[in-house]
Amino acid sequence: MGIEAFSEDGQFTPDRIARVLRTTKEEVARTVGLGRDAVMRPERIASVRTQSRLREMIEILNRVEPRFGSALVAYAWYRSEPLVGFDGMTPMQLVREGRAGEVMDYIDAVEAGVHA
């Protein structure tokens, strides 16, 4: 799914993300390591930290969606699949710790055939 499905007026919007992923804004906040206010208050939604975390999750989902066939299955993978080499942590847990770059590197390595 294209990034435009998750954004509006040049920023990622928790409403759209929640709608596409069939979840709640609160759950979106939790899955990227933000508090409830970060996805409820307009000034917090626009903050660099909120936008960065939302962007990271969307980038990860967009990278794996072709492998899984849908954004919903990619989101389920993001939330629940332990990654090899990360002590059983899921992509969601890694993003919440600020380690989204490592998840993207892992995905790139899998796509390149480095990890099975």
Domains: count for the chain: 1
Q: Give the pair of three-digit tokens for residue 100.
A: 């989204």
Residue 116 lies in a domain: no
pLDDT in tens, 78-103: 999 999 899 999 999 999 999 999 99
Residue 13 lies in a domain: yes
Q: 5, 105, 116, 108: which is closest to 54 by C-alpha?
A: 5
One-letter amino acid at 107 equals: I
Structural domain range at position 82: 3-111
Q: Round to whole Å and give the CA distance between 59 and 3.
A: 8
Residue 70 lies in a domain: yes
pLDDT in tens, 21-75: 999 999 999 999 999 999 999 899 999 999 999 999 999 999 999 999 999 999 9
Q: Round to whole Å and give the CA distance between 24 and 114.
A: 35
